Amino acid sequence: MIDKVNIRINRSKAKYAITLAKSLSPKDTITINKIWELCGFKSKEEFDESFETIYGTTFKDYINQL
């Protein structure tokens, strides 16, 4: 049960990361590199794993496609 809740929370955080990334300039690399922290993840590794699990691609690749 707790795992399902954590997955839903991480999915919401990942969606928030996408929303933030879309509102930022691609030149704002400092903020984009810290987006995991702004979205409430405990570490960049946790963010990368969650994002790739949910969207099937890395956050960096996703941003490059925007």
Task: Set out the domains of the chain in order of their start, with CATH numbers.
Answer: 2-65 (1.10.10)
Q: What is the pTM of this model?
A: 0.88
For residue 17, with 0-12 CB atoms within 10 Å meaning exposed, 13-18 middle and 19 or more buried, which class applies?
Answer: buried
* pLDDT at 17 (0 to 100): 96
Q: CA–CA separation, 11 vs 4, rounded Å? A: 11
pLDDT at 12 over 90: yes
Dump pLDDT digits (tens) for 19-63.
Answer: 999 998 878 889 999 999 999 999 999 999 999 999 999 999 998
Tokens standing for 12? 């919401």
pLDDT at 1 over 90: no
